[in-house]
Amino acid sequence: MYVVNMSKATFSDRISTLDAAVSPAESRLIDWFARNRETALHASAAEIAAAAGTSDATVIRTARKLGYAGLADLRHALAEDLRRDLTLADRMASELALPGTVPGLQTSAQALRASLDAIEALEDAVVSDIVSSIANARRIHVFGIGPSGFIAGYFAAQLGRLGFDARALSRTGLQFADDLVGIGAGDAVVALAYDRPYPEVRALFDRASRLNLRSLLITSNGPRLPDPRASILVRVPRGRTGGFGLHAGTLALLEGLLLAISAAEPDRTKAALEDLNAAREALSGSGMGL
């Protein structure tokens, strides 16, 4: 289990380990802080309260519930979080500054090897648990936002080809509420999420926990965990610390899982692929040799 030393915990760490004891107003305020860390550095308690639709007292109470002495202490933590998170441009510049014939290429290859080593080290029982959770689910919801959204869409599409009811969840903000209400009893959740506990990640695991669903969190090997409530946790290195985030390892893991699922459900996947092939021939004609 991932354990956070609260005396050294970052703002993101503290959010990720909060239990269900927070009130709706406090939860709304925490989500606002997570989305508006730069604004919170100079906003007054009254301005923060107005922006989050709550009260000054709730702002101070929430800061203390997170373990801070007050709003000033919370602002200091937010500044440290921002300092720790390099911008994408900084990360790319860091990669390009590495020595090599092609800047950063050798390090990227090393990062991919590290990812593959992490995947190969997965215990058979963990892989079996993942496969069983997906194969027995009524519907599979694959979550990913930003670049991870494209990978979530790819994995959901491939599961669909293998005969499973799967969909990608890649919207953010209030639109994500429409995705959440589509998650029901008997479903399974696969989440691609890294580092910071975005409000969508917390809301996703809130619903998964409430419905007692099987869930898989695929994340990086960094010190921060986006949410500790997943049934199964798999860490895949995403590149050098402080460098540009790479997704090749995650993609390799997901494609390995597709093969494992196919092997576990051969009749189902064979029938689904034959059905897909028949649909393709109906569109293109049998002469295509599909």
More confident residue, 153 or 195: 153
Mean pLDDT of the chain: 80
Alpha-carbon distances of 237 from 99, 113, 196, rounded to whole Å: 21, 9, 16
Is the pLDDT at 91 greater than 50? The verdict is: no
The residue with tokens 């109470």 is: 61
How far, CA to CA in Å, does 171 sit from each of 12, 37, 86, 184?
21, 21, 24, 18
Average of per-residue pLDDT across 210-238: 87
Q: What is the pLDDT of residue 163?
A: 95
Residue 135: pLDDT band (50, 70, 90) is very high
Is pLDDT above 90 for 178? Answer: yes
pLDDT in tens, 14-68: 776 665 567 888 888 888 887 787 788 888 889 898 988 888 898 898 888 888 8
pLDDT of residue 101: 44
Mean pLDDT calculated for residue range 3-17: 60
Confidence tier at 2 by pLDDT (50, 70, 90): very low
Residue 237 has pLDDT above 90, yes or no: no
Identify the weakest region by mean pLDDT among 113-122, 192-201, 223-232, 279-288: 113-122
Say if residues 34 and 18 touch (Cβ distance below 8 Å). Answer: no
Residue 112: band (very low, low, confident or very high) from pLDDT cuts 50, 70, 90: low
| pLDDT (tens digit per residue) in 270-289 | 999 999 888 888 887 765 55
34 near 197, Cβ under 8 Å?
yes
Q: Return the pLDDT at 184.
A: 97
3-class SS letters over the chain: CCCCCCCCCCHHHHHHCCCCCCCHHHHHHHHHHHHCHHHHCCCCHHHHHHHHCCCHHHHHHHHHHCCCCCHHHHHHHHHHHHHHCCCHHHHHHHHHCCCCCCCCHHHHHHHHHHHHHHHHCCCHHHHHHHHHHHHCCCCEEEECCCHHHHHHHHHHHHHHHCCCCEEEECCCHHHHHHHHCCCCCCCEEEEECCCCCCHHHHHHHHHHHHCCCEEEEEECCCCCCCCCCCCEEEECCCCCCCCCCCCHHHHHHHHHHHHHHHHHCHHHHHHHHHHHHHHHHHHHCHHHCC
Classify each residue of 201-212 as buried b or exposed e, where b means 16 or more C-beta atoms within 10 Å of its C-beta: bbbbbebbeeee
Residue 89 reports pLDDT greater than 50: no
- What does the pLDDT read at residue 20? 53
The Cα–Cα gap between 53 and 61 comes to 15
| Interval 183-213: pLDDT, tens | 999 999 999 998 777 889 999 999 999 999 9
